[in-house]
Amino acid sequence: MSQTVALNDQAVAPRRPGLGLALAGLTVASVAAFLAGWVPLRFSIVTVFLFAGPHNWLEARYFLTRLPARWGRLSGYFTLAFTGIFGLTAGFCALVWAAERGLMEEEVWFGLYAGLHTLLILWIATLAHMRSQTNPRREWGWVWPVAFGCIAAAWLMPAHWGLALVYLHPLLALWLLDRELKRSRPEWRPAYHACLATLPLFLGLLWWRLADASALPINDELARRITDHAGASLLPMLSSHLLVALHTFLEMIHYGVWIVAIPLIGLRSAPWSLEGIPMAWRGQTWRRGLVLLLLAGAFVMLVLWVGFLADYTTTRNVYFAVAMLHVLAEFPFLMRAL
C-alpha cells in the first residue's frame, strides 16, 4: 500500500531536476536587474564591497579542487598557465600604475596596452592548442584564425577591446558553471540552459528602459571611476546610466555564480575543508601549505573590507588593477573543463 502511495505521489509531482537552481538564478537576476537599473552607482558600490573578496577566495578554492595532485603530462600546460597568470597580471598592473602617474605618452600607453593584449590572446590560444593535443576529439584548429582576428581588433581599437573583456568576463563564470553541471549534475543542465536563455531578456529590458536615460551625476572621483570602468568615456553616445546598470548587473550574476552556485555544486567538501583538494593528499607538508594559503586568502579578504571602509575609492582602484589575476585564472581552468 505504501509503495502504491509513493508511486502515485511521484506521478502527481514528478521530479524537476535543477528547478531550484533555475529559480534561484532567476530570483538573483531579477533583483540584480531591478537594483542595477534603479540605483546603479550605489548598487555597484555595495556589491563590490560585499562580494569582491569572498568571490575571489571561493574562486581560488574551487581552482585548487580542480588542480591535480601531480601535473604529469599536463606540467607544460600548467607551467604556461601560471606563468601567464602572474606575468600578464604584473604587466597590466605596471601599465595602470604608469598611466595613473602620467609616466608615458598616450600613444605609447596604447601601444603597450595593445601589446599586452596580444600576449594575452597568444597565451590563451597556446593553452587551447595544448589542450586540443591531449584529446583527438578536440578539433580546435579554428583557435589560431580567431586569435589573429582578435589581435587585429586589439590593435585597431585597444581601449574598446579592453572594454569588451570587461563585459565578457562575467560570462566566463556562467560557462564554467555549465561545465561543472555537465560533470557532476548533468540532469540539471536543461533547467540551467532555460535560465540562461532569460539573460538576453534582462539585458534587453535594461537597454529598453535606460537607453535614453540621463547621464549619471559625476559628483566625485568614485562616480567617475565607476562610469569610466563601465565605458562611459569610450561610448559617449550611450547613457552612462545604461552602461553602469549593464555592467553592475553582469557583475552581480558573476558574484552569484562564484559565491553560491559553484560552491554548492562543484566543491567536494566544505570550502574550509581540505578533503576535496587533490594536492592535500600528497602529505602533511602540502596540507599545511594549503592551510596557510587559504588563511592568507581569508586575511586578504579582511584587509580588503577594512580598506573599503577606510578609503573606498583607492581600495576599489587597487582591487580592479589586481583583479586581472582572477580574470586570467579562469581561462586555463575553463579550457581544462572543456
Give the pLDDT of residue 4: 44
Q: Is residue 5 part of a domain?
A: no
| Range picked from 29-43, 165-179, 269-283 for highest mean pLDDT | 29-43
Residue 26 lies in a domain: no
Model confidence band, residue 209 (pLDDT cutoffs 50, 70, 90): very high
pLDDT value of position 17: 67
Whether residue 36 is contained in a domain is answered as no
Contact 247, 229 (CB under 8 A): yes
Tell me if 141 is assigned to some domain: yes
Look at residues 64, 57, 59, 65 and name the one whose alpha carbon lies nearest to residue 299.
57
326 part of a folded domain: yes
Which one of 95-104, 134-143, 277-286, 288-297 scores highest in mean pLDDT? Answer: 288-297
Give me the pLDDT at residue 281, please. 83
Q: What is the pLDDT of residue 6?
A: 41
As a whole number, mean pLDDT of residues 247-251 equals 95
pLDDT of residue 251 exceeding 70, the answer is: yes
- Neighbouring residues of 258: CB distance < 8 A, sequence distance ≥ 6: 55, 58, 59, 62, 173
5 pLDDT band, cuts 50/70/90, is very low
Domain total of the chain: 1
Flag whether pLDDT at 121 surpasses 90. Answer: yes
Which of 15-19, 81-85, 261-265 is the least confident region?
15-19
Question: Residues 136-164: pLDDT tens digits?
Answer: 677 777 889 999 999 999 999 988 888 99
- The DSSP 8-state label assigned to residue 260 in this structure reads I
- 82 touches 321 (CB < 8 A): no
| Interatomic CA distance for residues 292 and 313, integer angstroms | 30
CB 240 within 8 A of CB 232: yes
pLDDT at residue 16 is higher than 80: no
> To the nearest whole number, what is the mean pLDDT of the chain?
87
- Among all chains, which residue has been given the C-alpha cell 568615456? 233
11 within some domain: no
The whole-angstrom separation of Cα 318 and Cα 97 is 10
| Structural domain boundaries, residue 65 | 41-337
Domain assignment of residue 58, yes or no:
yes
User: Does position 241 have pLDDT exceeding 80, yes or no?
Assistant: yes
The pLDDT assigned to 15 comes to 58
What are the tens digits of pLDDT across the range 56-102?
A: 999 988 888 888 888 888 899 999 999 999 999 999 988 888 887 77
Beta carbons of 210 and 245 less than 8 angstroms apart: yes
